[in-house]
Structure 1
Amino acid sequence: MILFRIKELVAEKEKRENRKVTLAEISQHTGVNRTSLSKMQNPDMKHSTTTSAIDSLCRFFDCNVEDIMVYVKDPE
């Protein structure tokens, strides 16, 4: 399964910039809907998204695609 690392990236950005980063701010800067961002944070939602959204998130967090999402084997 693909897991998004939005929570981790937010925490890293908050620490690096010494300020609070909200989903509303991320949405405003990336064009990714706040609801989609919220769903990405919840692994139970199994949210899918577009490459355009991933590109925007990479730009916002100044990171690579593999920093945004990771593959984890499903438990058998």
Structure 2
Amino acid sequence: MIRFRLNEMISEKSFQEGRRITIGEVAKETGINRMTLSKMINHKGYSTVTDNLDKLCAYFQCGLDELAEYVHEDEG
């Protein structure tokens, strides 16, 4: 399963900039619907379009490997 690291990315950017960054701000700056961002954070295995990944990578100035990770699910 793919897990998005949005909470971690928001926390890291907040720390670097010395201010609180909200999901609403990320939504406004990227043009991604706030509900979509919320689902990416809270829904296990949520699927999104590559355009959203591109916008988030640009916003956080990161690569896909920093934005998302593969988590192996045990079949049991």
Q: Same fold (TM over 0.5)?
A: yes
Alpha-carbon distance between aligned partners in 2 of 1:13 and 1:2, rounded to the nearest angstrom: 22
- Name the residue aligned to 1:52: 51
Q: Deviations over 1:16-49 (max 9, x none)?
A: 00001011110111111101111111243x2111
TM-score by length of 2: 0.92
Deviations 1:36-73 (A, max 9, x none): 111111243x2111111000000100100111110010
Find the counterpart in structure 2 of residue 32 from structure 1: 32
Percent identical: 41
Partners of 1:36 and 1:23 in 2: how far apart? Answer: 10
Tell me the distance in 2 between the aligned counterparts of 1:9 and 1:52.
Answer: 18
Q: What residue is the counterpart of 1:11 in the other structure?
A: 11
Q: In structure 2, list runs of 5 or more residues that go unmatched.
A: none
Distance 1:68 1:30, change over 3 A: same
Q: TM-score, normalised by structure 1?
A: 0.92
- Secondary structure of 1:3's counterpart equals strand
Structure 1 gaps, min length 5: none
Number of equivalences: 75
Flag as ranges the 4+ runs of structure 1 deviating above 4 A. Answer: none
CA distance in 2, matches of 1:70, 1:34: 21
User: Please, what is the CA RMSD of the aligned residues?
Assistant: 0.9
